[in-house]
Structure 1
């Protein structure tokens, strides 16, 4: 089989069969990877390392990554909702908003949109702040982001109407205990509460259109805007949800304070050291993954998922358990996720590469551990002046995020201790 990786876009096919074919191709590639890696390991045991085998294993591993990407592309295409304003279930107000929005985008006529937002008593319904997109387009953008933004796909997502979401949590509970039927009951103490704040920050994209595109009535403007902004929003979100410092952006989970898991306390994420600086240990490297899994309490572990980038995943793909079975497994079915030690594996390219003291692998229940906050409303401001002859569409949404349960996520630290 030839493993000269072709990075061109996969051939577009319709229906389930194409996704199934991509999955079958992935399974065949993984079988080839296992056979070649077994041959490489046997050569190492004979102390006759083969450079060609090493390179072949790496090429096949890259091929697996490409086939996984192809499956993800098929799944994303199926997840995209159709934006057709002619559906019978649209209410009159929705049709009116959609028609007014299309007139604004195509010709710059803002009067109908201004009238709609003024009638709805919308805040900031002026040209300087842009205009709200139809609710169907807003939901379409949110749906697409959930499909392509890796952390959003596994985190909790809450929609708010204000600028900050505050979530209370209990730092000390009321006194409890067991008593006999006739024993005296001491007065219970009140719980101690604190609050986590999740401010929504502004995220923007600025797609450009030509006059020809805007004049073409066959072009679905809603679909065009959604497809143009989805990738920009997803890339920016993905980076912030992992590494964001909380300044004008969400706070990523890797930006939270950390401590060795043995000394864990609320407000910090616990870490498990690999025992080797910038590497997995030479002997039984997968043992540290087991330690990471069981650092999580059972209530969180049952919904746990691994998060790492492609390079880290490629390194782990070569690991075996004591019975000789590979720990990394491709998706069991088309549209599924790869798994590591039976837990789902989420690829997030913003996770750091393996290096000294890096936190390159996360494991946890992200649904309980990380919260994404979306403020209602996506706005578009038409700008025909800044980049003539192109028309720019300054598109903004407000999003926040941060760790909401510090006990639900654990990190693997590539350090001696």
Structure 2
């Protein structure tokens, strides 16, 4: 995004309320630094910190977390696009027909217009259970919301396919080459080694419920309502699967692949770097362990790399300093931005494990090249007015897959000796 576009984006999405909260967060961080410095000084003098000081540090840290979550929530609210009656007036006739037919189906159960539209469009994506494809506007809205609130999806590479399985070849090693003189004999070079990666898509569902009064209300935007209802359910399931999924009826999470120490890394495994201490960092050498993790990654991957950890791990690294006394963790520099660790952004994924002995609790890498999310084209909705009277259920499904596509693009920090 160029500077002009970035400026326009920030003007549109960053409200005065968010800016005020950002300023307050910076003041909280200053208070956190002062309190934590006092705690460390007390520890150095008496080999123990004062309980009051430790409690103060914990309270300010909790306030920082709360402030960060509030800023993220308000920023995402400002990013949500208006749909339905606020969309551009010029839409294709087919899109308008589909949208109108879908709205009549959702509100009143009228399937006739929607069936005629799908027959006219020769759609092959309608499920055997009788569900109907949502309009493009609704599908786009659901995808956009998921990208905003699903941490791994927001940094991973996303591919939309029309088949059940994506097969992707990957070059493990390129074709051999070398220098020769003009008249020298050229020996035959080896062909590049290719690995075929397979990413099947699995069904993900949510079942929001509505009252008849809600559906009769003409002021309710159906696209927005469905998007809001399914986003949290989809995001929670996706977030867990992209990190810890076993690949059975769900995507395969990057934490479930075979791991190997970086010195013995091979294709098909995720490389790990040890902190040198079980369940934590070596005293006074935390920065060294993080530097080892960063530079275990090749330069081409570091340019777009991020740290991925849960909030408890972030609370632990927030207190770390380098040898000059500078904090390694810094709050977001702007509203809507991410906190940074050693200059790299931190992505908070609650599904990541806590710091413990022998646990790889922190990931670092270019996730756009490391992890691939595969979306099957089409989101289906089946209206069910019978199962939970007087409520109307909307069985909403989409197909999602995922897995590692480049095993060299990310490393894990293992808290072990």
Question: Which residue number in structure 2 is paired with residue 84 of structure 1?
Answer: 84
The 3-state SS of whatever aligns with 1:46 is helix
**Is contact 1:131–1:379 with CA below 8 Å preserved after alignment?**
yes
The 3-state SS of whatever aligns with 2:163 is coil
1:16 is displaced (CA, Å) by 1.7
The 3-state SS of whatever aligns with 1:363 is strand
Separation in 2, partners of 1:126, 1:110: 14
CA separation of 1:186/1:127 partners in 2, compared to 1, >3 Å: closer, same or farther? closer
Larger mean CA deviation between 17-26 and 45-54 belongs to 45-54
Separation in 1, partners of 2:157, 2:296: 22
1:71 is displaced (CA, Å) by 1.1
CA separation of 1:23/1:58 partners in 2, compared to 1, >3 Å: closer, same or farther? same
| Residue-pair matches, total | 403
Gaps of at least 5 residues in structure 1 are: 1-13
The answer to whether structure 1 residue 60 and structure 2 residue 87 are counterparts is no
Deviations 1:273-296 (A, max 9, x none): 112222222232222111110111
Question: Which residue number in structure 2 is paired with residue 207 of structure 1?
Answer: 208
Separation in 1, partners of 2:125, 2:347: 39
Question: Which residue number in structure 2 is paired with residue 180 of structure 1?
Answer: 181
Larger mean CA deviation between 324-333 and 125-134 belongs to 125-134
Separation in 2, partners of 1:84, 1:316: 44
Separation in 1, partners of 2:213, 2:257: 48
TM-score by length of 1: 0.94
Question: Which residue number in structure 2 is paired with residue 39 of structure 1?
Answer: 38
The answer to whether structure 1 residue 120 and structure 2 residue 121 are counterparts is yes
CA separation of 1:163/1:336 partners in 2, compared to 1, >3 Å: closer, same or farther? same
Map of 1:16-415 to 2, 5 A cutoff? 16-47=15-46, 48-85=48-85, 87-123=88-124, 125=126, 128-415=129-416
Separation in 2, partners of 1:167, 1:149: 24
Deviations 1:226-250 (A, max 9, x none): 0000111111111111111111111
The 3-state SS of whatever aligns with 2:32 is helix
Larger mean CA deviation between 257-266 and 73-82 belongs to 73-82
1:382 is displaced (CA, Å) by 0.5
**Is contact 1:157–1:374 with CA below 8 Å preserved after alignment?**
yes
**Is contact 2:131–2:381 with CA below 8 Å preserved after alignment?**
yes
Separation in 1, partners of 2:161, 2:14: 37
Question: Which residue number in structure 2 is paired with residue 3 of structure 1?
Answer: none
Question: Which residue number in structure 2 is paired with residue 5 of structure 1?
Answer: none
Give RMSD over aligned pairs. 1.3
Separation in 2, partners of 1:339, 1:351: 18
Separation in 2, partners of 1:173, 1:61: 48
The 3-state SS of whatever aligns with 1:26 is helix
TM-score by length of 2: 0.94
The runs of at least 4 consecutive aligned structure 1 residues that moved more than 4 Å come to none
The 3-state SS of whatever aligns with 1:128 is coil
Separation in 1, partners of 2:192, 2:416: 39
Separation in 2, partners of 1:57, 1:192: 53
Separation in 2, partners of 1:33, 1:283: 20
